[in-house]
Structure 1
């Protein structure tokens, strides 16, 4: 196995380090303190800001000219000193010399919204509601080149290495990464130094799916916990049509892509809610943000799975911050099933 390019190394190191800040927030604070609401009613936490600041900083150090399309901006932090100090405290777990002004500047490196032939996309805390419930969330980073994600790295601090071992006795934390043409991998999320590639790959497991689904009774769906994020009723209809009887696995965040990539589940459906009363129903379908799918997309593909929209079209990351050409997302463990 040949060593993957530098972009992959930076992505893996960035999400691994940033996970320390997220865990610090989860372990040391009342998670509802310092949480604000956005216009779309989704919450933003201290951890969102801290993780975005750190990852944008790491990317800028390595690739100063690369644009970053990330979820947050620092407007609220510049106005709210108390919130800024909370974020700074979390950032300093990883970067002890950081200042409040630097943190705001690092966060705003992620406010690009236009398309470039090479750019990064970041969801600092994907599954913020899961984070607030102390359940599943993910730190998700992807490199997009010529409209296609080529590198993906994802830290899932509360996810065990397989769902069957998801108990209090098993260590929590999974680090996923993938590079187009170089495979998909997972290892235990750790605070140890993972800068030595050779040692890192010795500790990691390559994810390789088997597209063998003769018995639909054994198939499992994976979908969002929040019904607002996906059409659970439509998912249930599809499961019934396929004679799938096992209950769905419901997780917050792109951890669902990781669960598909390693074979814990077979199908991930993120289906839009249709507005049947509108004459412009097609135009009213929700379009996904690219940061909600970039890292998971390349992870499932490199594990041998398939990811398209609900009409079978490839996901198009060439239109800025939204998947404007796609309706919903369907990920599966292989082309036969898909």
Structure 2
């Protein structure tokens, strides 16, 4: 029991999980390589992604007030601040506070306030389950399974739309000697989301001295955080890995070829594109519906790994590995 407690335990705002999958857990949570030949896959077979249409109250109020559509850049600024507010919540304390608020408003016969407090309480429970209990957003064990097996040594990693930078740091732990360039066009991501990422959070990776496992932390990864629109980056083909997490699904179909090209244009010959997107499953649809005020400030789709893979294949990528974990699809590809 002691070993288990040391390897997985709850902090107020997240779970620590340094375990590896058992075979049973792997078979339950990780499904890899379902398509053998992507040239035989068609849109008639896989269907189109599910568009999330319920949007945040903040977005609706802005558009009503201004009389126009919320600009994309502003929508991302709203999302980043909303998402970070939830990432840093002391969830047990927030749940306790909300329980008291529900009772207090009910005793005062403040029906509207009581209903709002109950809705907040429901969202807190959902967030607690998805992020702290199930650890579905960071999902370190699942991400390690998706990212393993790359033929790289001391790779240079480019993370597009990096936010707090989690996945690049997990990759850097798995492939020691990595250096990271994170890119986001919202300064809040660098100055707050990345800066506030807990320095004590453990990333399990390879120990090059022993061949065993080693725990790394944020401070161990040489990182340059660049504030820029991806379209304005001036890098050459100089990266071993170009990564994005939750980027492709925010662009309608007419823009997806450009998004795929962003990954390809900075890769060294033989380099790897790594992309993840949220899965199209009923649990995700419920989550994005109930958490709309937190999550849905901009265009968003949920897709299957087959849909995601077809976008990449049609736009010049050879898919090496694909699969899905708890709440994400993942694909590793190279330029065809």
Question: TM tier, shorter chain?
Answer: under 0.3
* TM-score (normalised: structure 2): 0.27
Structure with a larger share of its residues in helix: 2
Larger-gyration structure (1/2): 2
